[in-house]
């Protein structure tokens, strides 16, 4: 019964997910959020809110022009990199060393989790080996005495 319920739930999720799927995303909006206003405000191009900003209006019209030529997204971004330098991209997207920026955080997380699992297995192996050699757990009385002497229990 629980299995059947799970299947129904999963099927429902897929069905609802498919309802009305396929609407195209706005390229202008997506690309405009991948660029930074170069005026020094450090804001995303489409979020720059400085009246009289020397760059954002011009860049936005350049973005519209580039999109109207029908070139792919990567070519549009490259055009901006060539004109304004690599810092115009809101995140490193040029390939090469830039990929390292994306990989390292996940690699660290993965290594951390793998490390925990490894340490756990190591501890369990050592524990079972120790149990075979000599069952010598830390004396609870000693631990209790330390706590008493250091006043831990009185806190």
Kindly state whether residue 37 participates in binding another protein, applying the rule CB under 8 A.
no
28 contacts: CB under 8 Å, gap ≥ 6: 63, 64, 67
Kindly state whether residue 44 participates in binding another protein, applying the rule CB under 8 A.
yes
Kindly state whether residue 67 participates in binding another protein, applying the rule CB under 8 A.
no
Structure-token pair, residue 151: 């006043």
Q: For another protein, which residue of 25, 72, 95, 141 counts as binding (CB under 8 A)? A: 25
> Residues in contact with another protein, total (CB under 8 A)?
66
Kindly state whether residue 23 participates in binding another protein, applying the rule CB under 8 A.
yes
Q: Candidates 61-69, 71-79, 108-116: pick the segment binding another protein (CB under 8 A).
A: 108-116
List interacting residues with another protein (CB under 8 A): 9, 12-13, 16-26, 29-30, 33-34, 36, 41-44, 47, 49-52, 85-92, 96-98, 101-102, 104-106, 108-109, 112-113, 115-117, 119-120, 123-124, 126-127, 138, 143, 146-147, 149-152, 155
């Amino acid at each position: 019964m629980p299995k059947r319920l799970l299947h129904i739930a999963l099927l429902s999720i897929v069905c609802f997910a498919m309802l009305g799927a396929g609407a195209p995303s706005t390229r202008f909006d997506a690309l405009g959020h991948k660029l930074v206003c170069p005026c020094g405000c450090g804001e995303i191009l489409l979020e720059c809110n400085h009246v009289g900003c020397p760059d954002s209006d011009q860049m936005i019209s350049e973005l519209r022009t580039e999109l109207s030529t029908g070139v792919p997204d990567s070519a549009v971004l490259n055009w901006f990199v060539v004109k304004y330098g690599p810092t115009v991209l809101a995140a490193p997207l040029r390939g090469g060393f830039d990929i390292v920026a994306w990989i390292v955080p996940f690699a660290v997380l993965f290594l951390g989790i793998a490390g925990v699992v490894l340490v756990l297995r190591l501890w369990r192996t050592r524990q079972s080996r120790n149990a075979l050699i000599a069952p010598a757990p830390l004396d609870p009385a000693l631990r209790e005495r330390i706590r008493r002497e250091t006043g831990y229990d009185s806190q």
